[in-house]
Structure formats: C-alpha cells, structure tokens
A and B are shown apart, each in its own frame.
Chain A
Amino acid sequence: KQEVTQIPAALSVPEGENLVLNCSFTDSAIYNLQWFRQDPGKGLTSLLLIQSSQREQTSGRLNASLDKSSGRSTLYIAASQPGDSATYLCAVLYNNNDMRFGAGTRLTVKP
C-alpha cells in the first residue's frame, strides 16, 4: 500500500528559526515528490518539485531534499517568518499517475 506520512503534525517556532519538515513514503517507485503550502480555507500552492532522479531543489529560503532509497524527503525553511505560517503538504507521484498526499504539518511562526 502506498502511504505518505508527515512528521510532525504541528510545529510552533519563534521567528527567525530554521526548521525542518519531514515526509516519508512506503513505496520507493516514485516519479517525483512535490511540496505544497496551504493557507486556511484555500487551495494548494506548489513550492518545490523534485524529480525521482534529483537529490534536492531550492527556492529562496526553501530547500527540499529527496532520498528515494530510504523513502524520505525533508523541507528546510531558513530564517522563518510569520508569513510562513501555513500547512505544508508533501505529495508523491507514483508511476501509475497516482498522487498520494501526507496529512500535512501545520506550522506556526510566532513574531
């Protein structure tokens, strides 16, 4: 069964702190992995996409890594800001055109 797990479920940090969000998946036969941000009551905004052949992707203060063999990805956020507060979702695309999501990590950055 293809499952995606995100840890922690919720995280609260003071502004300026660096933080890491974790995502693990049970089936390593993935096509790619995508990190999303979701604000309350809104749709998903794509943050980073890592192809299965890649090890990491960077966008501004965000860095996502992928270790396909161990079934893990991390999203690193540097110098966190209150505007980063949101739920972060990890999604794995499998070769059968099936995208599976984790339950998300709810991040709160306190001023």
Chain B
Amino acid sequence: SQTIHQWPATLVQPVGSPLSLECTVEGTSNPNLYWYRQAAGRGLQLLFYSVGIGQISSEVPQNLSASRPQDRQFILSSKKLLLSDSGFYLCAWMRHTEAFFGQGTRLTVV
C-alpha cells in the first residue's frame, strides 16, 4: 500500500534561519506531488506541485522554493525564514486524481 511521510511534525525556527521540510512517498512511482500551506482558520494554499523529477511549478511568489531530487521525494526550502512563513505545511500526492496527505509540519518562526 502507498504511504506518505512528512517530517518533522513540529519546528520552531528563528527569523532569518534556513528551512528544509521533507516529504517522501512509498509504494508508488512517478506520483504528482504537492506542497500546501494552511494558515490558522483558513483554507489550504497551493505552494508548489511537481509532475516529475526536477519539474517544479510555483503557484505564488514567496520566500520558499521546492525541489524534487528523486521520484518520490519532495523538499520545501527557504534560505531565510520570515515571520509570515509560520503555518501548517502539508505534503500531498495524487493517485488517479485522488489526493492523499501527510500529517503536516507545524512551523513557527520566532
């Protein structure tokens, strides 16, 4: 069966520090992968999606970047975090147009 792993679960980082969140999918090949951010009390905002290795589409201009170094690995990064980067980050993959989500990372920038 397919599973999606996302870590860490929680993270507290100072302003200006770098960020790296990792997401991996098991049990499938060539999945479409997604990074979403959920602000408190709001819906999910699509940040990046990828249909293959090295292929990244960005939805909104921001302080973040994404990379897909391997087929089932999706990484969300920042060189210098801002206070506004705080939020709940979710990774997802899609199978036959049905989306499945990881457990999320709660990022607090202080």
Contacts and interface: CB of A to CB of B under 8 A. Distances in A.
Say whether A associates with B: yes
A contacts with B: majority SS: strand
A76 interface: no
A32 B41 CA distance: 24
Contact of A42 (B42, B51, B104): B104
A31 B32 CA distance: 15
A43 B98 contact: no
Nearest to A6: B43
Given A42-B104, A43-B90, A101 B44 contact: yes
A34 B99 CA distance: 8
B7 interface: no
Interface residues of A, number: 24
Contacts of B49: 97-98
Contact of A32 (B36, B88, B97, B104): B97
Contacts of B102: 43
Nearest to B10: A41
Given A34-B99, A93-B97, A97-B32, A43 B104 contact: yes
Interface in A81-96: 89, 91, 93
Interface string B82-104: 00000010101010011111111
Interface string A27-46: 00001101010000111111
Contact of B103 (A42, A49, A103): A42
B83 to A, nearest CB: 20
Contacts of B74: none
Nearest to A48: B98
Contact of B51 (A44, A89, A97): A97
A32 B94 CA distance: 12
B107 interface: no
A99 B34 contact: yes
Contacts of A100: 46
Contacts of B44: 89, 91, 101
